[in-house]
Chain A
Amino acid sequence: MKMTVLALLAAAEAIALRQAAEASPIQHVLVQMPLLVLAGVLISWDMRGRRVWAVPLLLTALTAFLFWMLPRSVDWALTPAGETAKYLSLPLLLGVPLRLSWPWLAPVLRGFLKANALSMLGVLGFLYTHAPLRICNSYLVSAQQDLGFAFLQLAVVLACIWAVPVLFGHPRWLPSGSAGCSKCGA
């Protein structure tokens, strides 16, 4: 119940950012879109996925993720049809499948996904800060460069957060360890 309320709050906040998303790609790609994914994760927080579905669900989530990473999808997301698709697909095809499959993923696979996310953010950061042309028609060159730096900053922050359990062991106060499926009945 609490998680459902939080999910609705995240979705409402994302929709409230409509205008901001049009003005700034950072608000769009790094605030609004993650909030929509978060809404999907939260709404399915207490659900249990079945083990056999873990890989297909992960592939679904990866497809949605890669689709919304395309610059042309970001432009499309500012049109009425694209906006609707964004509001529906980010929670339902990325947040929910990710939440349902994550507990079943082996630590090596999780580490692989995290490492790929970091390197991808680095590549995107480099691309967006150095591209000689506008990658999204809907945003200014300066905003595109800001987005590039934001990608790099996010990569650094995530690297630090993800490195702590690897280097120093999992902190006791954090729930659901990354070491397996103790919580979800494996």
Chain B
Amino acid sequence: MAARFLPSVLAAVAGGGILWLATDGARAFTSEAARRLDVLQSPRKVPEVLLEDMASRQVPLLPQAGEVVLVEFIYTVCGDICQTAAADFAGIRDHLQAQGVQARLLSVSFDPERDTPEQMSIYGDAHEADGIMWTIARPSQKDLPGLLKLFDVTVIPDEWGGFQHNAAIHVINGDGRFSAVYDTDAVQAVVAYLGEAQP
């Protein structure tokens, strides 16, 4: 009797197990959810990379002594979500400044060819990025693919000569590890997270 049902039970258990693993225990059905879960569980080491900011200075991507870095990937002529995302990024900057949290905000262009320092400062001025606590910067063409891969950012060209990308706020903690991802409008969550990490 048991032998009759055994293959079916085994197939059901194996199937359920595979689907359980494939969704990280029914927690991540999309690749975006999967990357967020993965960096929380195993933060990723960020390499030492220099970016060129809107004043043509070289700025480090990695946090300097005692600070935390928030990274948003953008391209400066982005029409819709990047504009509201930039407004929210400015909101985060204001909150962190008010609380005295040591943090640096970077809007990193994934279109370094078109986003020259002049172009980046137009974007920076429009959103009141001061160039110190929050600056706009571009990686070298050589570093770009590695950064997109590390942060799991997928950029695809859209129908109007722009791009679509999984926009988010990426946290690089004091140890130089990419350790969390937040929605671009999750201002309160980011502020709370950094407030805890840095009392």
Residues of A within 8 A of B (CB): 52-53, 55-57, 59-60, 62-63, 66-67, 70-73, 75-76, 133-142
Let me know if B32 is at the binding interface, CB within 8 A: yes
- Do A63 and B18 form a contact, CB below 8 Å, given A72-B30, A137-B154? yes
A76 and B35 alpha carbons, distance in the complex (Å): 12
Q: Are A63 and B31 in contact (CB under 8 A)?
A: no
B15 sits at the interface (CB 8 A): yes
Q: Is the CB of B15 within 8 A of A59?
A: yes
Specify the main secondary structure of chain A where it touches its partner.
helix
Additional A-B contact list (20), CB under 8 Å, known A60-B11, A72-B33, A75-B30: A53-B7, A56-B8, A56-B11, A63-B14, A63-B15, A66-B15, A67-B19, A71-B29, A72-B28, A72-B30, A72-B31, A75-B31, A133-B32, A134-B32, A134-B166, A137-B30, A137-B154, A137-B166, A140-B156, A140-B164
A59-B166 in contact (CB<8A):
no
B 23-52 binary contact with A (CB < 8 Å = 1; else 0): 100001111111000000000000000000
Interface residues of B (CB under 8 A from A): 4, 7-8, 10-12, 14-16, 18-19, 22-23, 28-34, 154, 156, 158-159, 164, 166
Q: Return B157 CB to nearest CB of chain A, in Å.
A: 9
Question: Is B23 within 8 A of A70, CB to CB?
Answer: yes
CB-CB under 8 A from B7, the residues of chain A are: 52-53, 55-56
B residues less than 8 Å from A66 (CB atoms): 15, 19
Q: Decide: A60 near B15, CB < 8 A? Known: A52-B7, A134-B166, A140-B156.
A: yes
**A60 CA / B10 CA spacing, docked (Å):** 10
Do the beta carbons of A71 and B30 come within 8 Å of each other? Answer: yes
Listed A/B pairs (14) with beta-carbon separation below 8 Å: A56-B10, A60-B11, A63-B11, A63-B14, A67-B22, A71-B30, A72-B23, A72-B29, A72-B31, A133-B32, A134-B164, A135-B30, A137-B166, A142-B159
Indicate if the CB atoms of B15 and A62 lie closer than 8 Å: yes
In angstroms, Cα B10 to Cα A53, docked, is 12
